[in-house]
């Protein structure tokens, strides 16, 4: 299978007969109608799944709803908060909330929780187990928060992580936030994730233009015998 980084938390996962776009909000270039999605993905004849973990502007763009006019077979699967906040209409997508799932002859998707808005997605396809965290992370803000706030964030995250770990014993590929805005402990949530759930391949996300900061997780991944995908530019692809 192939993973392609679009931007921020946006990725494309391609199998032999299908493609999945997750958390698209803009293409790999700022030029209208250009980039990896518009110039390549929407021209493919593969069955196309469009997933969005939540309605934050940097994870969801209403323009994706136009893709059904450009591609012959699109299935939209959205977190329910996108409907709740009227970012899309009921007829536009299949909506799932935490603990709910979607399945067809190509793939299986289950929604897990988030420590922010919306959900995270577990995907099973072509024998692979794939996890996109959405905004699931240890959002501790330790340098700004009180002791009580830090403890609350740790507990919230731990509860969500342990729930996933109780049902998922191994992940082939995880896409997970490495957000430098968190300060000195910005890779902590990712460390806790791979410490709890055995993972084969790790792709950083949610880092904006901070590619060098995102790569700081590579050393820890190596210690855990995890393949780290060193993302250096938009539109970059990896086989996994």
Q: Which of 219, 33, 9, 41 is nearest to 117 (CA)?
A: 9
Check if the beta carbon of residue 66 is closer than 8 Å to that of residue 59. no
DSSP 8-state secondary structure symbol assigned to residue 24: -
From first to last of its 240 residues, the chain has per-residue pLDDT tens of 999 999 999 999 999 999 999 999 999 999 989 999 999 999 999 999 999 999 999 999 999 999 999 999 999 999 999 999 999 999 999 999 999 999 999 999 999 999 999 999 999 999 999 999 999 999 987 677 788 888 898 999 999 999 999 999 999 999 999 999 988 889 999 999 999 999 999 999 999 999 999 999 999 999 999 999 999 999 999 999
How far apart CA 184 and CA 142 sit, in angstroms, is: 8
Domains of the chain plus CATH, in order, are 2-239 (3.60.15.10)
Phi, psi dihedral angles at 53 (to 5 degrees): -75, -25
Question: What's the predicted TM-score (pTM) here?
Answer: 0.96
Token pair for residue 145? 């928060």
CA 15, 18, 20, 26 torsion: positive or negative?
Answer: positive
Give the other-Cβ count within 10 Å of 98's Cβ.
Answer: 16
3-state secondary structure of 191: helix
Check if the beta carbon of residue 106 is closer than 8 Å to that of residue 38. no
How confident is the model at residue 184, as a pLDDT? 87
Q: Which of 229, 174, 206 is nearest to 54 (CA)?
A: 206
Alpha helices of 62-187 — where are they, by DSSP H?
Answer: 80-84, 147-167
3-state secondary structure of 189: helix
């Amino acid at each position: 299978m192939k993973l392609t980084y679009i931007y921020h938390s946006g990725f494309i996962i391609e199998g032999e007969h299908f493609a999945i776009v997750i958390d698209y909000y803009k293409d790999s270039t700022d030029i209208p109608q250009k980039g990896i999605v518009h110039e390549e993905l929407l021209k493919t004849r593969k069955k196309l799944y469009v997933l969005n973990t939540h309605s934050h502007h940097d994870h969801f763009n209403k323009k994706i709803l136009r893709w059904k006019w450009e591609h012959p077979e699109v299935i939209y699967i959205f977190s329910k908060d996108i409907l709740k906040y009227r970012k899309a209409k009921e007829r536009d997508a299949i909506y799932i909330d935490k603990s709910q799932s979607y399945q067809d002859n190509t793939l299986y998707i289950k929604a897990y929780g988030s420590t922010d808005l919306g959900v995270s997605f577990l995907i099973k396809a072509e024998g692979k187990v794939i996890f996109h965290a959405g905004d699931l992370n240890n959002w501790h803000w330790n340098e700004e928060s009180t002791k009580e706030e830090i403890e609350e964030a740790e507990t919230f995250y731990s509860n969500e992580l342990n729930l996933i770990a109780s049902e998922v014993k191994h992940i082939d590929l995880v896409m997970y936030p490495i957000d430098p805005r968190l300060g000195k402990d910005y890779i902590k949530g990712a460390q806790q994730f791979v410490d709890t759930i055995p993972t084969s391949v790790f792709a950083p996300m949610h880092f904006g233009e901070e590619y060098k900061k995102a790569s700081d997780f590579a050393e820890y991944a190596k210690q855990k015998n995890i393949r780290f995908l060193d993302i250096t530019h938009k539109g970059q692809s990896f086989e996994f």
